[in-house]
Amino acid sequence: MTRQASSTHVSPFQALHTLPLNAVEITDGFWKNKQDINGTDSLSHGYAMLEDSGALDNLRIAAGALTGEHRGMRFQDSDVYKWLEAASYELVRADSASLRQQIDSVIDLIAAAQEADGYINSYYQIKFKPEDRFTHEDHDHELYCAGHLIEAAVAHHRATGSPRLLDIARRFVEHIDHVFGKGKREEAPGHQGIELALVELYRETGEPKYLALAEFFVDERGKNTMRGWVHFTPSYYQDRVPVRENDRVEGHAVRALYLTSGMADLYLETGEQALLDAMLRQWHDFTDRKMYITGGAGARHFDEAFGDPYELPDDSGYCETCAAIASIMWNWRLLQITGQARYADVIERTLYNGFLSGVSLDGRAFFYVNPLLVRDSHVREPWYQCACCPPNVMRLLASLSRYLLTVSEREVQIHQYATARFRGDVPGAGSVCLNMETNYPWDGSVTLTVTEAGSGDWRLRLRVPQWCTAAQVRLNGQSVEATFEGGYLILSGPRKAGDVIALDLPMTPRLTRAHPYVASARGSVALERGPLVYCLEAVDQDEAVSLLNVQLDPNAAFQAAHRADLLGGTVTLSGHGYALDLTPWQNQLYLPYDHSSNTARNPIELHFIPYHQWGNRGAGPMRVWIPVA
Amino acid sequence: MTRQASSTHVSPFQALHTLPLNAVEITDGFWKNKQDINGTDSLSHGYAMLEDSGALDNLRIAAGALTGEHRGMRFQDSDVYKWLEAASYELVRADSASLRQQIDSVIDLIAAAQEADGYINSYYQIKFKPEDRFTHEDHDHELYCAGHLIEAAVAHHRATGSPRLLDIARRFVEHIDHVFGKGKREEAPGHQGIELALVELYRETGEPKYLALAEFFVDERGKNTMRGWVHFTPSYYQDRVPVRENDRVEGHAVRALYLTSGMADLYLETGEQALLDAMLRQWHDFTDRKMYITGGAGARHFDEAFGDPYELPDDSGYCETCAAIASIMWNWRLLQITGQARYADVIERTLYNGFLSGVSLDGRAFFYVNPLLVRDSHVREPWYQCACCPPNVMRLLASLSRYLLTVSEREVQIHQYATARFRGDVPGAGSVCLNMETNYPWDGSVTLTVTEAGSGDWRLRLRVPQWCTAAQVRLNGQSVEATFEGGYLILSGPRKAGDVIALDLPMTPRLTRAHPYVASARGSVALERGPLVYCLEAVDQDEAVSLLNVQLDPNAAFQAAHRADLLGGTVTLSGHGYALDLTPWQNQLYLPYDHSSNTARNPIELHFIPYHQWGNRGAGPMRVWIPVA
């Protein structure tokens, strides 16, 4: 088994250092189960869908190995690249000869499809003439696909050490660099993604022109010229103002957050303050005004876009799975830059809720859209005509271990809790090995065992999640002095092998309100426990109860039940509430105020499950925000 | 001046008889002002926009009188036809040589563009070969455009007596009848409209095959086969089930309500109970679950569609102006069929609110979308790339008098109140003339003077709007015996010239709640007065007040002020409320329940204007549903 380290590049403006892919391994528990299902069921299902959907055939046709018409979306190639990125990470996690073979066969196909000049995009190769290439980049997604090819190539190189896919990507980038740039085609891509990919390629290869090209694409954006069919304005493309002047997240949510991720990557290399300032303004706009309680991003179906501030409808909320992933990517970079826990908090919220809802328990069906209220039904599909989300889920799950820990000078930071092993070099303290054990997110007790202690004093920085108000830490069974700073508990001192640090993050069910401007949550609460947002699913309620018709007693004592038999293991919550008597509303949509204000109600019990687990027992209603009695 | 009567056709299943176009004339007051602006400013502005947008040039190109590319939407011709329909009605209301000339020149153009075989659709004529016609009717709108041509032709014939446009339309219909039908192309149009138009053409000409073709198109729908780009399912096209089996309004709202209007027209001629049953189920689905308080229809931007039951967001609500018009058309037909006031109530609600908001006070700018909450800005545009709404507004305003009165055996029904003169034959009672005077919607006093009394006993049926709980009627200054039945006050007996009937409909400001399932209105009220829904517009509030941040005291005494100087004349309402103290929410989108439930607040005065008048004083926030304190 080859487990290559990641690139040895250290970004100069990183407060926290990311670790090689193989430094952290998730060894058991909640996420191990998700990763195992992803590595087996999802990846093989995904490969079959690449065949079914024509994505692989498109490349075969472009390669001249097959005749026929292009099928699917104009950016269908990106499905292949995202799957390849996921599969490459999976090799690090759980190498397999058959997966390697599948990866190699797909790379063969890409190699065969690539033109002599480096260009590759099956849609354009099949349907258009060479002179048509890059002429409609605002909507034809050639650079977007290139970005995913690069990301796959970097992942494949890091995972296997093989330069094969990396060379293909580099040849395409050389071609792009030949076409785009100052004095050449001066245009930003309509759909972002290539910016962050080019910075990664720079890190992997050390070639500075890739970084320059990333910067060029970031700089080109904001000329207020991009427009699309009928209602698509420059805001949709984040093209309204130059990126350094923007103070909001706007337009198509995935594009917006891939762009900010690329800006963050650029900052990590250049340290340009204006980029960071713009990002911090945008981050506040996102988290103070436009983020769902699930971490979901994007309020509008129409253009898959952010809405106005506080426009966070529960029913028609979009919350595309890809946008949740993009938010995790962006917050991960902001965490590296700043070392501040608030970014890890957003990652946690998104990971356990708005991201994880995107995939079924069996790993073979996916939500594109993740609403917070479903009145009728909303079901995960095996694949989509626009299949951006499923392989995006796969690449995040396969590479999830990267988000758990970072290091810096004489310090290890633990951001996310999972049963995992860390083995790596801590700058100034040498080789350290830690075993982390936890039943997170079902309970908040985390045990860290030092199995290799490094040398001298070093700090262990443990994130206390924002939701936790009573964190406790003990060292070898004894209370220990720890400082609390910026959302982290810090334990200092020399460590010895066998040291056991026990962190307790009590998970008391809690009720959360939204800002009064959020209409969908007005007069309502969400129930949360630990990192999990809960929801009501119709299947768990008494038959007579309609989810639209319930109120929650905010003084209810919620009963938590660990249920190994349900939903592959879960913790359910039950509490007291009411069902409204709707008799006065028979055939009435609007009534005078005084007639309807004294609505009678009947007591009921309400049964909650974690939001991310909903929709795994057939179709039916679901609801997160519950009016309070 | 030629003022032709409408067709002499009497639909056999009409409980109430519609009147010829010239039987009712709006002579003064609120609607006269709207009609005058429409007849001058809007129609001339509209003609200029038909030139600007390429709509007329498209016909010139199709006619071979101009060379160039087709411009605009594939259904751009329909803008011309709707303008022509409006202009034709305007001739009845206020004949003008210059408008006649403009109308004739447009008809010349259409005549020149029509193919020898009767076909006319500039988009197809310019861009495609003859064999391509009608091959993508599910999205190419050829039959939709034909429907608008027919409606224009019938209006023009009724207004002028000239058969010229009618003949053009009939030739196209002959062509369509040659292509579509049993054993021919068995398909329904993707966008409805032709169904009701064909029934009108049948009424105007007496040609039964037009009625048969309308029925064919209604019958063909519901095969569950229509699908469009990515997310457009059969529901979008009302093609999920056969129309007689449907029990909901679903999909694209304008299509859905043009279809039901066509079904109603079909019922009026055939009396087929299954059609009426389906419509009544759909009507309840609409008015009990899917209609905005403004009468607006369509909750979703994404597909311009109805949402789930009770999915009525205020901010992202669609409420297309065309859908409001379509609802008025449908309810008008249901009123004819049943004689029940509830349909006139929906017409009133829609007319004064969700429809009228669609046009600016100067008649030269239009909303396509009519939300109930605007956080930032939403401005009326002079025209749209998809310009369905502006000329649709024009044709409704120009023909508005038709909605005021109907007659039946020895009875006159007054459904809508306006200063107007009715002169016509009442079956069994001979010639009757009534003058109606009122300052409606600003106050509820209506005076009816009989100037020609007819013969023998006949009934006067006066609608008491649903909102009015204290209607009073007097005859010649004395109290009079009147029965109240099905939403109407009925005065019986012989009338004599000079009789004065005074109806008083007191307009006390009132607060209205929505069904508890409507999230956007949860814990909130709307302020109404008479037929008008009120709103807060930022420009009327104290500078420090944010509309998102207010509560209304439900016990407030609202002060009504008649303001001739404001918005071309209005009645404003003011009442007591509060501004929330948002200090705890600084940089917080979600907080624990107990921390945020005791929100402090400061008393303020809130100043309301009628919803339909908002947005006429620059861009800014607006809000209908206001949380109660």
Q: Are the beta carbons of B580 and B549 closer than 8 angstroms?
A: yes
Residue from B499, B451, B441, B497 nearest B475 by CA = B499
Which residues from B are below 8 Å from A309, CB to CB? Answer: 375
DSSP bridge pairs for A590: B514
What average pLDDT does chain B have? Answer: 95
Count of residues for chain B? 629
CB contact under 8 A, A590 and B293: yes
Residue B566 near residue A484, CB atoms below 8 Å = no
Tokens linked to B219 = 């019958």
Pairing relationship of beta strands A532-537 and A601-610 according to DSSP bridges: antiparallel
Distance from CA of A310 to the nearest CA of B (A): 9
Residue with tokens 């989810």: A547
Residue A230 is predicted with a pLDDT of: 62
Q: Phi and psi at residue B150, in whole multiples of 5°?
A: -65, -45
Quickly state the pLDDT bin for B489 (edges 50, 70, 90): very high
List the 199-258 stretch of A: residues with Cβ below 8 A of B. 230
For residue A211, give Cα distances in angstroms to A50, A193, A206, A215. 31, 14, 9, 6
HEC states along A200-234? Answer: HHHHHHCCHHHHHHHHHHHHHCCCCCCCCCCCCCH
Running DSSP on this structure, what letter comes out for residue A558? P
Tokens matching residue A368: 């594109």
In sequence order, the 6+-apart residues with CB closer than 8 A to the CB of B564 are none
Instruction: Report the length, in residues, of chain A.
Output: 629
Chain B CB contacts of A247 below 8 Å: none
Find where tokens 């909450």 sit.
Answer: B373
Q: Would you please indicate which residues of B are annotated as catalytic (active-site) residues?
A: 304, 388
Is pTM beyond 0.90? Reply is yes
| Residue in A closest to B546 by C-alpha | A517
Residues of B in contact with A548 (CB under 8 A): 310, 516-517
Taking the CA atoms of B290, B294, B299 and B303 in sequence, report the sign of the dihedral they define: positive
Among A76, A230, A240, A315, the residue to mutate for chain B (most B Cβ within 10 A): A315
CA A110 – CA A119 distance, rounded (Å): 11
Are B433 and B463 within 8 A, CB to CB? Answer: no
Which residues of A are designated catalytic? 304, 388
Distance CA A446, CA A449 (A): 10
pLDDT of the residue at A2: 40
Residues of chain A with pLDDT under 50: 1-5, 595-596
Q: In which residue are the tokens 């007689």 written?
A: B244
pLDDT of residue A5: 43
Which chain A residues contact residue B517 at CB under 8 A? 548-549
Residue B597 confidence (pLDDT) above 90: no
Going edge to edge, which strands form the sheet with B445-453?
A: B24-28, B419-426, B430-438, B445-453, B500-504, B472-475, B478-479
Res B4 pLDDT > 50: no
Which pair of structure tokens corresponds to residue A336?
A: 């590296």
Chain A interface, best mutation among B284, B300, B315, by max A CB count within 10 A: B315
Distance from CA of B75 to the nearest CA of A (A): 14
Burial (CB count within 10 angstroms: exposed 0-12, middle 13-18, buried 19+), residue A282: buried
Listed by number, the residues of chain A in 474-503 with a beta carbon closer than 8 Å to a beta carbon of chain B are: none
* pLDDT at position B5 over 80: no
**Burial of B272 from C-beta contacts in 10 A (0-12 / 13-18 / 19+):** middle
Q: Any idea what the Cα angle at residue A365 is, between residues A360 and A370, rounded to 5°?
A: 70
Q: Do A592 and B375 touch (CB under 8 A)?
A: no
Mean pLDDT for B242-254 is 97
Is residue B126 over pLDDT 80?
yes
Whether chain A has a CB inside 8 Å of the CB on B588: the answer is: yes
What is the distance between the alpha carbons of residues B294 and B527, in angstroms, rounded to a whole number?
A: 12
Give one word for A359, left, alpha or beta, with left for phi > 0 and alpha for psi -120 to 50.
Answer: beta
Q: Do A316 and B316 touch (CB under 8 A)?
A: yes
Burial class (CB in 10 A: 0-12, 13-18, 19+), B504: middle
- CA B176/CA A494 separation, integer angstroms: 88
% of residues, chain B, pLDDT over 90: 93
Nearest to A589 among B385, B514, B593 (CB): B514
Tokens of A548: 């639209």
Question: Using CA atoms, how far apart are residues B311 and A375, in angstroms rounded to an integer?
Answer: 9
Chain A residues 403-442 with CB within 8 Å of chain B:
none
Whole-number Å distance between alpha carbons of A83 and A366 = 14
Chain A, chain B: beta-carbon pairs less than 8 Å apart: 154
Give the whole-angstrom CA distance, residue B5 versus residue A500.
96
A230, B524: Cβ pair inside 8 Å?
Answer: no
- At A48-86, the pLDDT tens digits run 999 999 999 999 999 999 999 999 999 999 999 999 999
Tokens describing residue A257: 């957050």
pLDDT at residue B454 in the model: 95
Q: Name the residue of chain A whose CA is nearest to B286's CA.
A: A589
Cα separation, A596 vs A585, whole angstroms = 8
Q: Which of B286, B306, B340, B513 is most worth mutating to test chain A (most A CB atoms within 10 A of its CB)?
A: B513
Closest to B250 measured CA to CA, from B305, B192, B310, B329:
B305
- Tell me which residue of B133, B118, B129, B108 sits closest to B56, measured CA to CA: B108
CA distance A612 to B371: 32
- Residues in CB range of A13: below 8 A, 6 or more apart: A267, A268, A269, A270, A271, A337
Q: At what angle do helices A77-93 and A389-398 cross, to 10 degrees?
A: 20
The ipTM is 0.94
Contact B315 A519 (CB under 8 A): yes
* DSSP annotation of A185: B
Q: Contact at 8 Å (CB) between B459 and B480?
A: no
Residue B275 and residue B199: Cα distance in Å, rounded? 15
pLDDT digits (tens, 9 = 90+) for A6-41: 567 899 999 999 999 899 999 999 999 999 999 999
Q: What is the pLDDT of residue A137?
A: 82
Contact between chains at B596 and A513 (C-beta distance less than 8 A): yes
DSSP code per residue over A38-100: IIIIIHHHHHHHHHHTTHHHHHHHHTTSS-S---S-TTTHHHHHHHHHHHHHHHHHS--HHHH
Query: CA of B283: which chain A residue's CA is closest?
Result: A587
A299 touches chain B (CB under 8 A): yes
